[in-house]
Structure 1
Amino acid sequence: MSGQTSEGNDYPLSGSPVLNIGTDAEGIVVERPNRFLCVVDIVKPEKLRSELVHVHDPGRLVDIVYPGNRVLLRKASSVKRKTAWDLIAGDIKGEWVLVNSAWHRKISEWVLNKKIIPFLSDIGTVIPEQKFGDSRLDFLLRENERNFWVEVKGCTLAMDGVALFPDAPTVRGKRHLEELIKARDEGHEAVIMILIFRQDAHSFAPNGELDPDFTMTFRKAVDSGVKVFPIQFSFENNTIIFQSLLPVFENK
C-alpha cells in the first residue's frame, strides 16, 4: 500500500476514558432476520428466552453479528419500542467492538472537546447537524472567519491489520464525500473523522473491493484537500477508551 497521512500515535490522552455505555446482558446471536434486527439468546446475568434485538448500525457486520457469536445488550429506554433490547457490542477475537452508531455523536464531541486532532485544536465554535448542499453533515466548526465541515463515520471492519470503511455499499457516504469536496471548492476546510473500534487495526483505508464508487470519491476528496483522521478506540468494562490516531494507507 502507498499514500499515507498520519498524525502519529503517541498521545498524552491515550488510554483515557471517553464514555461509559452501560450494558444489561450478554447473549449469543441466534439469527439476523434483517439488517436492523437480530435474535439473541440471553445467557448473563441469567439465562432468558430468545429476545428480538435492535441493531443500530447501517453496516453488514458479518464478522460480528452472526449465529454463535457473543454480544452485549442494553435495555431499551422507551417502552413504546417494538424491541426491548439494543445491540451494543460484539466479540471479535476476545475483544468487544462497539457496533451501535447512536453513540458516535458523543464520542466525536469528546474528540473535539479534548482537541485530539491537532488540525482542529483552535476551533472556537462547534455546531452539530448542519445542512450543506443536499446533505446534513455532522458538525460545522468555526475558527474566526474559517469554516470547518466535519463528517463522522464509524468503522467496525478490519482485515489484515487494516480498518476498512464501508462494510456495506453506501450511496449516502459517497454523497457526504461529494459535499465535502464542494465545501473545499468553496474555500472551506473539510474533515472526515473515522471512529475505528477495532483493536487489531494499525491503519485505515477505504474499502475499494466492496465499494469502488465510495473509494473513488474518497480519493477525489483527499486530492481536493479534505483531511482524513482515523481515530482508534477500545471498549473495555463498558467504557469507550481512546487509543490513538491511525495512519491512512490507500491502494493506488
Structure 2
Amino acid sequence: MKLPPLWSGVLIARYKRFLADIRLDDGRVITAHCPNTGSMRAVNVPGCRVWVSWHDNPKRRLPWTWELIELPDGAMASIHTGRANALVQEAIESGGILPLDREWALQREVRVEDSRLDFRLTPGSGEAVWLEVKQVTLKEEGCGYFPDSVSTRGRRHLEALMALRAGGDRAVLVFLVAHSGIDDVRPAAHLDPAYARTFEGACEAGVEVMMLGCEITPEKITACRFRRLH
C-alpha cells in the first residue's frame, strides 16, 4: 500500500481519543485527527517521531491525520486502523500471502445477526469464507497482544465466527500486525480475560487464526510475514 505524502514531527500528546498535538519539523504545532479508537497502549508515546498526512477537503474539521509512529526501540507502527482492511484485501487479491487460492467474489462489511464482519469470500463452489480483521500494535515482553483494552465488540465478532463455522462455512480471524517489531500474537488475557476465553473457544470450534505482519516505511506499508497461528 502506497501512502500519501507524509510530514514528520514529534508527538506532543494524544487526547480525547481522536485528537493528537504534534510539532512538525518546521516548528508548527498542529492538531491532527487520530484514526484509532483503541487505547493505543504502547504506541501512544509522547516524544516519539510521527508522520502525518494532509487532506485538502473543506468538509474535514482537521486537515491533518496521524499515520505512523517510530517507537523508542526503532520499530515502526501504523496507528491508522482504517488501513488494516485494505492491506488484508490486497493480500487476498494478490493470492500470494493468504492461503485462499481460488477465484472469489468478495463482499465487505457483511452483516451477521447483530455484528458486521469485514469480508465474505464466496467461491464458485464449496463453503463461503468469512474473515474478521483485527489490527495489532500492542507489544509487551517481546510479543504482540490483542486487544489492547477490554473489547466487547471483539468478543461478539468471535462468537459470530463460531456460529458461521458451526453452520459449515470457513471462518478466519486475521491479526493484521501493523508493528514492524511483532512476530507473534496472543490473546491479551491480562487485559481482557473474557476475550481470551472466547478466543480459545473459537479455536476449539474450528475458527482459523492467521497473522499478517507488515513492513512499514513513510512511503508504503507492505503486508508480508504470513503465519498460521491456529
TM-score bucket of the superposed structures, by smaller chain: over 0.9
State whether residues 71 and 90 of structure 1, in contact with CA within 8 Å, keep that contact through their aligned partners in structure 2. Answer: yes
Aligned to 1:168: 149
1:80 to 59, 72, 81: 59
Structure 2: which amino acid aligns with 1:84? P
Aligned to 2:214: 233
Structure 2: which amino acid aligns with 1:121? D
Aligned to 2:160: 179
**Is residue 39 of structure 1 aligned with residue 26 of structure 2?**
no
Aligned to 1:189: 170
Structure 2: which amino acid aligns with 1:74? S
Distance 1:156 1:77 in 2: 28
- Residues 205-232 of structure 1 deviation map (CA, whole Å, 9 limit, x = unaligned): 1111011111111111111000000110
Aligned to 1:26: 8
Aligned to 1:216: 197
Distance 2:113 2:138 in 1: 29
Kindly report which structure 2 residues correspond to 1:126-165, keeping only aligned pairs within 5 A, or say none: 126-143=106-123, 144-165=125-146
1:54 to 10, 33, 58: 33
Distance 1:153 1:77 in 2: 29
Distance 2:156 2:103 in 1: 25
Where 1:29 maps in the other structure, the secondary structure is strand
Aligned to 1:107: 87
Distance 1:132 1:164 in 2: 26
User: Runs of 5+ in structure 2 lacking a partner?
Assistant: none
Distance 1:124 1:80 in 2: 36
Distance 1:22 1:177 in 2: 33
State whether residues 53 and 83 of structure 1, in contact with CA within 8 Å, keep that contact through their aligned partners in structure 2. Answer: yes
Q: How many corresponding residue pairs?
A: 227
1:66 to 40, 45, 48: 45
Structure 2: which amino acid aligns with 1:127? Q
State whether residues 180 and 216 of structure 2, in contact with CA within 8 Å, keep that contact through their aligned partners in structure 1. Answer: no
Q: Which has the higher relative contact order, 1 or 2, with Cα contacts under 8 A spaced 6 or more apart?
A: 1
Structure 2: which amino acid aligns with 1:175? R
Aligned to 1:90: 69
Over aligned residues, Cα RMSD in angstroms?
Answer: 1.6
Where 1:145 maps in the other structure, the secondary structure is coil
Aligned to 1:14: none
Q: How much does 1:77 deviate?
A: 4.2
Sequence identity of aligned pairs in percent? 26
Say if 1:123 and 1:174 are closer, same or farther in 2 by CA, change over 3 A. Answer: farther
